[in-house]
Each structure stands twice: as structure tokens, then as C-alpha cells.
Amino acid sequence: MNIAIDQTLDCKGLSCPMPMMKLAKAMKGMKSEEVLEMIGTDPGTKSDLPRWCNKSGNVLLDEGELEGGIFRFLIQKK
Amino acid sequence: MAKLCMGLFSGSLDKLTAAGVIMSGAAADDMDVEVFVLLQGARAFIKGNENKIDNLAEASHLKGEFTQALKDLNVSTWYEFFEMAKEMTNVKIYICSLAGKIWGGEKLEDFNGLVDDLCGIGEYLTAAEEADIHMFI
């Protein structure tokens, strides 16, 4: 899947609830249909982020796990 | 917009931190938050007291480990969580007028910058009745 990324948010090392706060803040500053790449290491984010997208109406385009316990998400602003 | 109502009775470091985390989660979810600070909680909101709070409500014999872990994990202070949540969403913090008096706060100026107003207990109950989520900490 080849998706153009407009912004990257690095949340590695941050604990809940900071990744979700930073995500919400970053998404507020983005334009409709722009794509944010979020990477993080907090296991809470794994379930919290899809739930947040579902609730806020933003689109979770992709989620995966990189090496070293790092999660990666691609979220498109609604 | 969904609304969270919190009765914050506790003024201990662990419970204030929990309140801050929950409020921050609510802010990330774009919820409105109303906090009603009761009895022991009001002590933490007296001007100048924010950094003096160091007692735990639970597992107080493990205070050293707890505070060290918060530091090691780079967790924000309870006060910073409250500030961040206030910046992000509509968070109102009200001090129960009786609670304020107990700890020497009679007027709004006696409290720190997080506090929006003093209130009576009836306002708390009405807010709890109207909220989507109500919790007592």
C-alpha cells in the first residue's frame, strides 16, 4: 500500500494518555483527507487509537507492528 | 458532545494523577468535562499547594517506588495533566465552597489558575444528572 504521508507524529517512549492527546492535537491542525503517520510504543495505544478513530470519524488506513515493539498507524483526517 | 462529570473528593497524589489521566483521555476524545472538587480535594487547589501534594491514598508504604516510577516513565504531574486537558477541551473546575473554606480558600483568588469558580453542592448533583459519564474519585 503506497500512501502519501503529510505528517509524522513520533510517540515512542510516551505512556498513556500522552499519545492520544498528541494525536488529537495534531489531527486538529490537519486538513481534510491529509494523512498522519503515528508511531509509538505504548501498548494502550494499540486499542485506544482504532477506538478513537471510530469515535471521531477519522479513518484508520493502516496499522502494523514494526521491529522492537513499535506500532505504526496511518490515519486520514475526515 | 459527550460530557464527563467528576466528583473529586481526594487530594492525594495518586488519585489526583488518576483524575488528570482520565480528564486528559476525555480531552483527547473531545468531551466536555466538569470537575467538582470536594472536601480533601480542595487542598490541592489552594494557590501554592500544587507542588506540595505528596501523600498517597493507597499503598502509601510504596510511595518512594510510585513517585520514582512516575519520574522514570516521564509522566506529567497531576497539575500538568489538568493544564493540558484545559488547553485541549472545555474543562471547568469548581470548588465546593465549604471545602474551600476548610482549607482557607474563601474567594476565587485564593485558588490556583485551574479553578473556574466556587460552587454549591446542588450544582454538582445537577451536573452529574445531566452528564453522560459520572465518576467519584
* Mutation choice for A interface testing from B4, B22, B24 by most A CBs within 10 A: B24
Walk across the sheet containing B133-136 and list its strands: B117-119, B91-96, B32-37, B3-8, B133-136
Identify whether A1 is part of a domain. Answer: no
B21 touches A: beta carbon within 8 Å: yes
Distances (CA, A) of A41 to A1, A73, B97, B122: 23, 11, 43, 43
pTM for the whole thing? 0.94
ipTM value, please give it: 0.89
CB B41 within 8 A of CB B8: yes
Q: What is the CATH number of the domain that holds A45?
A: 3.30.110.40
Q: How many CA atoms lie less than 13 Å away from B11 in the CB half-sphere?
A: 19
Query: What DSSP state is assigned to residue B104?
Result: T
Tell me the domain boundaries of chain B.
3-136
Is A16 catalytic? The answer is yes
pLDDT in tens, B21-57: 999 999 999 999 999 999 999 999 999 999 999 999 9
CB spacing of A21 vs B27 below 8 angstroms: yes
* Mutation choice for A interface testing from B4, B17, B30 by most A CBs within 10 A: B30
Superfamily holding B3-136: DsrEFH-like (3.40.1260.10)
Identify whether A2 is part of a domain. Answer: no
Residues of the domain holding A15: 7-76
In angstroms, the separation between the Cα of residue A45 and the nearest Cα of chain B is 12
pLDDT in tens, B112-136: 999 999 999 999 999 999 999 999 9
Distances (CA, A) of B90 to B16, B26, B60, B78: 19, 10, 33, 18
User: From the list A17, A25, A56, which residue is nearest B25 (CB)?
Assistant: A17
Could you give the percent of chain B with pLDDT greater than 70? 100
How large is the average pLDDT for residues A9-30?
96
